[in-house]
Amino acid sequence: MPLLVTGTIGIDTVHTPTAKAEEVSGGSCSYFAAAAAFHHKPIRIVGAVGGDWPNDHAALLESIDGLCLDGLERRSESKTFAWGGRYFDNMNQRETLFTELGVLEEAPPEVPASYSDSRFIFLANSHPSVQLDLLSKFPDRELAVADTMDLWINIARDELLTLFKEIDGLIINDAEAQQLTEISNPITAAKAIIEMGPGFVIVKKGEHGAVLVHNDAIAILPAYPLELTGVVDPTGAGDSFAGGFMGFLAASGRLDFSAMQTAMAWGTVTASFTLGSFGLDGLASTTREDLEARMFDFRRIARVN
C-alpha cells in the first residue's frame, strides 16, 4: 500500500517564549513523511525545494528510513519555501512573522511515473486547485485525505468544496472547522463538513486532542499529556498527527472505523515527539521503540475503565 504525500518542504524560523531556532527543517510534507515512516514504507514525497535548501536539511530527510525522495524536485534557480513564526506564552497560539513562498509560486512538482501505483494519498495544505490536480493523477487511489487552512477557506472556497467531493477524509483544526461551517461545536461542525463530501473528518484540537467523525460514529482522544518542559516547538505537530494516522492505516491495509480509531492514537503519540524539539529533530531522533513505549504509556494514561 504505497503512501504518497505532497506538501511543503520548508525552512522554518521559530520563536518561543524561551528560545529561538533559525532555519530549521520543516514543512508539512517533511513532518508528515517523517511521522508516517515510523509505521509504513515507502512514504513517497512529492515536493520542491530551491537552490538555497541547506545541505543539513537534505541530509536529515535522507537519513529517515523509508522515505522515497524520487519526487523531490531540486530547482537550483528557485528559493525554498520559508516560514517564520512566534508562539505566545501558552504555546497554543502563534503569529506568522514572515512567509516566503519561493517554489510554491511556481509550477507544482511533477509526479514521477513510478508513483502512479500509490494507493494512499495525503494532500497537505496547499491551494485546493493544486490538490485537485494532484489527486486526478491517482484514479485508482483507495484513500485520499486532505488538510487545508484559513486562507483557502477565505479565498478559494468554491475550489475547496469541489475538492471535498473527491476526497475520503479531511483533517483540519478546530478553528478552521468553525470558520468553514460557522459552528463552534467540533462534532456538529464535522458532521456539517461530511455533508459537503468527505466520508470522515478529523478535527484537531491541539493540546486538547482530536475527534474523528465517520458517518454516525465518533472517536475522541486527548493529546498525549506533556509537561511544560516537553513542549519545545508545536510546529508540525498537526502534520505529524496526520502522518502517524495515515501511516498506520497504510500499514494495516484497513479502512474501517476501528482501524481509524487506532490510527488516531498512533497519530497522537507520533505527534507528541514532534513537540519535543525544534523542526524535524524530534521525529528524527525518535526510535520505533520510543514510539511503542509512549503508546504503551498513552494506553494506560488515557484508559477509560
At 13, list the grid cell. 524560523
At 104, list the grid cell. 510554491
For a copy of itself, give the closer residue by CB, 156 or 187: 187
Binding a copy of itself (rule: CB under 8 A), the pick from 188, 215, 285, 287 is 188
Beta pairing partners, 45: 5
At 196, list the grid cell. 459537503
Say if CB 187 and CB 213 are below 8 A apart.
yes
Binding a copy of itself (rule: CB under 8 A), the pick from 129, 162, 179, 185 is 185
Letters for 249-278 (x = contact with a copy of itself by CB under 8 A, - = none) are ---------x--xx--x-------------
Binding a copy of itself (rule: CB under 8 A), the pick from 107, 225, 253, 285 is 225
For a copy of itself, give the closer residue by CB, 93 or 116: 93
Residue 153 binds a copy of itself, judged by CB under 8 A? no
- Least Å distance between CB 190 and a copy of itself? 10
Residue 77 binds a copy of itself, judged by CB under 8 A? no
Residue 208 binds a copy of itself, judged by CB under 8 A? yes
- Least Å distance between CB 230 and a copy of itself? 9
- Least Å distance between CB 56 and a copy of itself? 31
Nearest residue to 143 via CA among 191, 200, 196: 200
Say if CB 216 and CB 258 are below 8 A apart.
no
Angle between helices 28-36 and 257-274 (to 10 degrees): 120
Dist. CA 49–CA 47, nearest whole Å: 7
- Least Å distance between CB 196 and a copy of itself? 17
Grouping H, G, I as helix, E, B as strand and the rest as coil, residue 200 is strand
For a copy of itself, give the closer residue by CB, 92 or 285: 92
DSSP assignment of 213-265 equals: EETTEEEEEPPP---GGG-S--TTHHHHHHHHHHHHHHHHT--SHHHHHHHHH
DSSP assignment of 97-112 equals: EEEE-GGGGSPPPPPP
For a copy of itself, give the closer residue by CB, 167 or 213: 213
- Least Å distance between CB 254 and a copy of itself? 13
Which stretches of the chain bind a copy of itself, using CB under 8 A?
89-91, 183-185, 187-188, 191, 205, 208-209, 211, 218-222, 225-229, 231, 258, 261-262, 265, 298-299, 301-305
